[in-house]
A and B are shown apart, each in its own frame.
Chain A
Amino acid sequence: MWVYEKKLEYPADVERINPRLAKEIIAQYGGPDGELGASLRYLTQRFTMPSNYGKALLTDIGTEELAHLEIIAALVYKLTDGASMEELKKYGFDDFYAIRDKAIFYTDPTGNPWTAAYIQAHGDPVADLHEDLAAEQKARATYEHLMDLTDDKKVWNTLAFLREREVIHFQRFGEALDKIQDELKCKKVF
């Protein structure tokens, strides 16, 4: 089971309202390399991961990604909270508004809904860990694109934190893959 803590992992904040940036950042909420997909990918791969350290790592990183999903939602919330209809229109948020007002939903910036087709699980530790390594790099690249798109220092700092976490997750998944490949190389004597 999971336990909720009534705090963010990182003090995510914004300098000012910016609905356009909110829409761009939605990429990491319900986009192909976003935090929802990351969390669900790891939390389902763990059931068929053979090694104990692999199960632990997928559980722990999958859980941290849920905290990152909450950070992304907090950014989107703060970037639109209090925005007037005029501001929503000016910053191109009117298409999102038409359906769901300022509700935060699992889509990419163009409105494509999140789909399980974004993620994979093959029950093969080498295949799954390679999928995870690629996913972390794609998420890192997306964070860098988002950092290019903002001059809001507080948003930038939050994105930089999340980007750095992808680098760390990549490192840990790489270590798990090395260990598993070493184990597979060991001669089995029956």
Chain B
Amino acid sequence: MEESRINILKSLQEVGFAVIELELYLDTHPDDMNALAAYNNLVTQQQNIMMNYERMYGPLRNNSTQSCYPWQWINDPWPWEIKY
């Protein structure tokens, strides 16, 4: 897989990880306004990177984005096949 694609994927994994971490934290600290602001900011970043990636390389989610012809979801690589 080309380096530029790996780099976007890695940045998505980075932001996605921060979102998960804050999501769990907010479950037990729902009144932490700073954490909530950070969460909202990161979720927006995640959406932007994901849209960008999907526009260039095809769908990451199989039921949330429109597909080019032919149906793109079946294309490889699958997550376990990618070399970092």
What residues make up the interface of A, taking CB atoms closer than 8 Å to B?
3-13, 53, 56-57, 60-61, 64, 70, 73-74, 77-78, 154, 168-169, 172, 175-176, 179
For A10, give its contact among B17, B27, B28, B61 (CB under 8 Å): B17
Chain A contact surface mostly: helix
Cβ contacts A to B, 20 pairs, < 8 Å: A3-B61, A5-B61, A6-B61, A7-B16, A7-B60, A8-B13, A9-B13, A10-B13, A11-B82, A13-B83, A56-B27, A60-B20, A60-B24, A64-B20, A64-B24, A70-B80, A169-B24, A175-B28, A175-B29, A176-B27
Contacts A3-B61, A9-B16 aside, 9 further interface pairs with beta carbons under 8 A come to A5-B60, A6-B78, A7-B60, A8-B13, A13-B84, A56-B27, A57-B27, A73-B80, A154-B84
| A78 CA to B30 CA, complexed, in Å | 39
Residues B11-34 near A (CB distance < 8 A): 12-13, 16-17, 20-21, 23-25, 27-30
Note all chain A residues with C-beta closer than 8 A to B60: 5-7
For B23, give its contact among A5, A6, A60 (CB under 8 Å): A60
Q: Is the CB of B24 within 8 A of A61?
A: yes
Q: How near does chain B come to A26, taking the closest CB pair, in angstroms? A: 15
Q: Does B38 contact A (CB under 8 A)?
A: no
| A97 CA to B72 CA, complexed, in Å | 34
Residues B52-81 near A (CB distance < 8 A): 59-64, 73, 78-80
Q: Is the CB of B10 within 8 A of A11?
A: yes
> Who on chain B is nearest to A158 by CB?
B84
Note all chain A residues with C-beta closer than 8 A to B79: 6-8, 70, 74
> Who on chain A is nearest to B28 by CB?
A175
Q: Is the CB of B21 within 8 A of A168?
A: yes
Known pairs A3-B63, A57-B27, A57-B28; A11 contacts B80 (CB<8 A): no
> Who on chain A is nearest to B62 by CB?
A4
Q: How near does chain B come to A10, taking the closest CB pair, in angstroms? A: 6
Q: How near does chain B come to A166, taking the closest CB pair, in angstroms? A: 12
| A5 CA to B9 CA, complexed, in Å | 12
Q: Is the CB of A60 within 8 A of B78?
A: no
Q: How near does chain A come to B32, taking the closest CB pair, in angstroms? A: 12
Q: Is the CB of A11 within 8 A of B13?
A: yes
Note all chain B residues with C-beta closer than 8 A to A57: 24, 27-28
Note all chain A residues with C-beta closer than 8 A to B28: 53, 57, 172, 175-176, 179
Q: Is the CB of B25 within 8 A of A172?
A: yes
> Who on chain B is nearest to A63 by CB?
B20
Q: Is the CB of B13 within 8 A of A7?
A: yes
Note all chain B residues with C-beta closer than 8 A to A60: 20, 23-24, 27
